[in-house]
Amino acid sequence: MVGFLAARLAEQRAKSDDQLIAATHALANLRALHERIIESMRSGVITTDLHGHIYSMNTAAEEITGYSARDLKGQQISLLFKHITELIEASLRASAVGEIIPRGESECSKPDGTRLHLGFSIVPLVAETGETTGLVVTFQDLTHIRALEEQSRRQDRLAAIGRVSAGIAHEIRNPLAAMRGSVQMLRADMDDDPNSGELMEIVLRESDRLNRIITDFLLYARPRPCEPTISDLRQPLREVMALLRNSPETHPEHVFVENLPSAPLMACFDAAQLRQVFWNLAKNALQAMPHGGTLSLSMTRTPAGHLQVSFVDTGCGIPSEQQEKMFEPFSSSKANGTGLGLSIVYQIVQDHGGQINVRSREGAGTAISLELPAGNVAPDSTDATARKEPAPLYG
């Protein structure tokens, strides 16, 4: 009887061991499947505890934010998503009463300073017992979508401005020219009165400034058509740097570093318009370094065949709130600026089918890169017959 019972127990134990092994394999396979699903998602997924400390990140989350899960594990998720604490509480309340969980949007800065616009949602992580043990944050990169929306809004504003700009500008310019001529004649008759002469100089100087504002406004609202030709992209940049080195704003403390390719970088572009783009960006970089600094310029061809031009300065940087509207018209932070220079730059780059990327930290300098399509030009093209005499530089 003892032998029979021992055999039965051994048989049941072996069967239980087999079942346990099979269940363990099934659980491991299910876990691996879940991990593969999470890792295959193109949306970022981050899990945290109830206090917002990051526990895990999938591959997409690392690629979007630029941070690795190892670096952020245990850190507060508010490092990535600003003002997420309020939305966490709202999501938990909505989940508790069965309401729709709200979505949020937030700005995020990558390690290299690039700013992202992320859309995210938060759901509770519930254990088998029904207890909420953590949070799951899923998010997507909306930077490109928001950029397209802003571009559409900017084009709408530009169209509205263009409809009324020419008439208003000419109506202002005509009496302004008459006033300037009259003041010059009066000044000639008042040479013996230094105070009156000084007042006349102020009127003339301010009238010239007003005329420059109107000129910039017309250039922004009614830009001249783009006339692209096949040229060497290095040439307009070299011309701008030659002018900048001899500019009265340049001091001995300013250092210019040019990293240009030795071979011609042929592309199809409007030389006059790109000279204006390079001039505005280089001059802004110089003004950001009033006490000296280094301005580095580089030009390369990307693996995708585009042309990239970078302006990197060691100046005062751009505050985050100013970065959001730096390409908006009349948004200059300078005392005597019109706020149209960067708006014109943005418009010209858009007309060439390019993009502008800005990375800046207040007190740590600014890096602005332009990515321009080469057009219907082979990378090794050096056709000099298609080149055009350079047009005058807009200053």
Compute the average pLDDT of residues 75-94: 80
**CA–centroid distance for 111 within its chain:** 14
Contacts of 74 (CB under 8 A, 6+ apart): 53, 54
- In angstroms, the CA 58 to CA 208 distance is 59
**Separation in Å, CA 32 to CA 26, 36, 39, 43:** 10, 6, 10, 19
Q: What is the pTM of this model?
A: 0.52
pLDDT, tens only, 195-218: 676 777 777 777 777 777 777 776
Whether the per-residue pLDDT at 63 is higher than 50: the answer is: yes
* Radius of gyration from C-alpha coordinates of the chain: 31
Band of residue 64 on the pLDDT scale cut at 50, 70, 90: confident
- In angstroms, the CA 100 to CA 24 distance is 37
pLDDT, tens only, 350-379: 888 888 888 888 888 899 998 888 765 545
Band of residue 393 on the pLDDT scale cut at 50, 70, 90: very low
In this structure, what DSSP letter does residue 391 have? P
Do 214 and 222 touch, CB atoms closer than 8 A? no
Whether the per-residue pLDDT at 381 is higher than 50: the answer is: no
Q: Give every strand in the sheet of 307-313, ordered side by side.
A: 254-259, 293-301, 307-313, 366-372, 355-360
Compute the average pLDDT of residues 25-51: 75
Whether the per-residue pLDDT at 387 is higher than 50: the answer is: no
Do 237 and 260 touch, CB atoms closer than 8 A? yes
Whether the per-residue pLDDT at 383 is higher than 50: the answer is: no
Q: Give 98-131 as a DSSP string.
A: TPPPPEEEEEEE-TTS-EEEEEEEEEEEE-TTS-
pLDDT score of 329 = 66
Q: Using CA atoms of 192, 196, 200, 206 in order, give the dihedral in degrees to the nearest 10.
A: 150
Tokens for 219? Answer: 């250039």
pLDDT, tens only, 323-355: 777 777 666 666 555 566 787 888 888 888 888
pLDDT score of 312 = 92
pLDDT score of 331 = 63
Band of residue 311 on the pLDDT scale cut at 50, 70, 90: very high
Mean pLDDT of all residues belonging to the chain: 77
Find where tokens 């009324």 sit.
164
